[in-house]
Structure formats: C-alpha cells, structure tokens
C-alpha cells in the first residue's frame, strides 16, 4: 500500500479539490492507496478519504507574529505533516500534494523514487535565477526519518523562518539538503501550468495550453487555477489562456 497525503485549511480550496485529488491518485497509481487529508474542516470530503484533525502547532504563535512584518505568506502549516506523531500508525514513505495540482500520469515512479529521502522538484524560478531550492507542490518524505523538519521549526521558529525567507518549500529543501536527505525528481515528471503548459504570448490567446509528454503532475501554483484554465482565463496579456481541454479528462471527469 502507498501512502498519500494533503493538507486543507480555511476556505481557499473547496472539499471537491480533495475528492478530485483522490480520484486522480486512484486512476494513476497501480496498487492499494491510503489517502489522508489533514484538515480543520471535513465537510464535503469523500468518506473514502481518511481525515486527521489539523490542530494549532507550537510554531504558529511565533510564525503569526513574524508574518505581521513580512510580505511573504508561506504555507508553513504544511510542516505539521512532518510530525512523526501526527498519524501514529503511518509507516513508510508518504507522497504529498498541494491541492492546486492535477494528476495527469502514472504515479508509481514518484512513489518508488529514492526511498527514505525527501523528494521534490527543483523550483522553476530558482533554477532560472541560478539558485538552489525545491518546489513544494509535490513532495515525498518519511515522517519517522524526517521528523526533524517539524521539530527544528518548533524549537527555532524565527531562525528558520528568516533563513528561508518565510517560505515553506525553501525551509524544507534547505533543511533536508543540509542532512543529505534531499533528492530532486526529474524535471519533466512535474510541470507548471503557467511555465510549461501555457503558450508564449501572443500564441496563448489562440492556442490551447499543452500537456507536456511524460508529465505526471501539473501544478497550478499562482494563477490561473484549474477552474480558470478549464474554461479559459481572461487575465493579463501574458497570463490569458484559451480553455485547456485535457483538464476535463484529468480533473473534472
């Protein structure tokens, strides 16, 4: 059995994002699935999803205070997933997803990749700028082996927030790399809708976004999100898109 996990808090993403993520995992993973959602609201979540309460974390008081003077709003609550005591009966590696992703291809390679390591994709923007950093939309970890990612932030919240510029993915990749625990997924397995699927201007106004070959997960970080890309997004000139028809099959249907 393979373990999959996500975290949902607040009302930014409706429950059907969790349910559609489950459907994508079931379609594209060959084997038994355990899917867990750590959340503060279980309303509307499919009963097949195992839910775990998202409680306030020891680092959140210091985090909230620090965010008052920072322009960054990193999703540091995701670090709660690295707590080895969060789900006591959870064993082995876990493949985690943000909710604004769409599963488009086979997942077995992601599950089996580099056992016992923290696995992420190299961040698109950091690579473009020649800097180090992982992208956190898809991440694999083992809570029993990588619990230090949780405990370190609890014990030295401000230190690590400042070092990572208030970014969860920077914190995770930097700390894991410092222990030689970080491995990067092949770039073509995880794609960015706005960087890899959308056409360059002005072709984005007339040609549908593409689904690159060998993509397993499409990330909708930033804008547009899935609903907007599905019907066409009337955003700024360089962000405007016509509908992406492959989203119906991979996300809605």
Contact 97, 4 (CB under 8 A): yes
Three-class SS of residue 233? strand
Contact 241, 198 (CB under 8 A): yes
CA distance 252 to 17: 10
pLDDT in tens, 32-64: 999 999 999 999 999 999 999 999 999 999 888
Task: Provide the pLDDT for residue 65.
Answer: 86
What is the per-residue DSSP string for 9-25?
-TTSS-HHHHHHHHHHH
Residue 220's alpha-carbon distances to 99, 164, 223, 230, 242, in angstroms, are 9, 22, 7, 12, 15
Quick one: average pLDDT of 181-203?
A: 97
Quick one: average pLDDT of 7-34?
A: 97
Task: Provide the pLDDT for residue 73.
Answer: 60
Residue 104 has pLDDT above 80, yes or no: yes
Task: Provide the pLDDT for residue 74.
Answer: 56
Class of domain 2-185: alpha beta
Contact 223, 194 (CB under 8 A): yes
Task: Provide the pLDDT for residue 71.
Answer: 66
Domain boundary assignment for the chain? 2-185, 190-252
Give 185's pLDDT tier (boundaries 50, 70, 90).
very high
Mean confidence (pLDDT) of the chain: 95
Half-sphere exposure of 249 (CA within 13 A, CB side): 7
Full-model pTM: 0.95
Task: Provide the pLDDT for residue 59.
Answer: 93
Question: Residue 82: which of 139, 134, 39, 142 has the closest Cα?
Answer: 142
Taking residue 63's Cβ as centre, other Cβ atoms within 10 Å add up to 20
pLDDT in tens, 197-252: 999 999 999 999 999 999 999 999 999 999 999 999 999 998 899 999 999 999 98
Task: Provide the pLDDT for residue 45.
Answer: 98
What is the per-residue DSSP string for 127-188?
HHTT---EEEEEEEE-TTTSTHHHHHHHHSHHHHHHHTTT-HHHHHHHHHHHTT-EEEEPGG
């Amino acid at each position: 059995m393979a373990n999959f996990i996500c975290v949902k808090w607040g009302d930014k993403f409706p429950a059907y994002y969790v349910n559609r993520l489950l459907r994508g995992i079931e379609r594209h993973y060959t084997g038994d699935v355990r899917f867990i959602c750590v959340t503060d609201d279980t309303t509307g979540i499919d009963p097949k999803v195992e839910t775990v309460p998202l409680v306030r974390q020891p680092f959140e008081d210091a985090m909230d205070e620090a965010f008052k003077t920072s322009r960054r709003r990193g999703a540091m609550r995701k670090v709660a997933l690295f707590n080895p005591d969060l789900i006591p009966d959870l064993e082995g590696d876990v493949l985690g997803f943000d909710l604004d992703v769409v599963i488009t291809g086979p997942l077995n390679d992601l599950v089996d990749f580099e056992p016992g390591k923290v696995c992420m994709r190299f961040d698109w923007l950091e690579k473009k700028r020649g800097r180090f950093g992982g992208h956190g939309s898809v991440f694999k970890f083992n809570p029993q082996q990588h619990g230090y990612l949780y405990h370190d932030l609890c014990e030295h919240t401000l230190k690590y927030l400042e070092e990572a510029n208030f970014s969860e993915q920077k914190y995770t990749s930097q700390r894991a790399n410092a222990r030689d625990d970080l491995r990067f997924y092949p770039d073509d397995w995880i794609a960015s809708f706005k960087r890899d699927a959308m056409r360059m201007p002005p072709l984005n106004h007339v040609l549908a976004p593409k689904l690159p070959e060998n993509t397993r997960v499409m990330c909708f970080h930033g804008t547009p999100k899935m609903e907007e890309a599905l019907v066409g997004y009337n955003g700024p000139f360089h962000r405007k898109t016509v509908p992406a028809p492959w989203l119906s099959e991979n996300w809605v249907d």
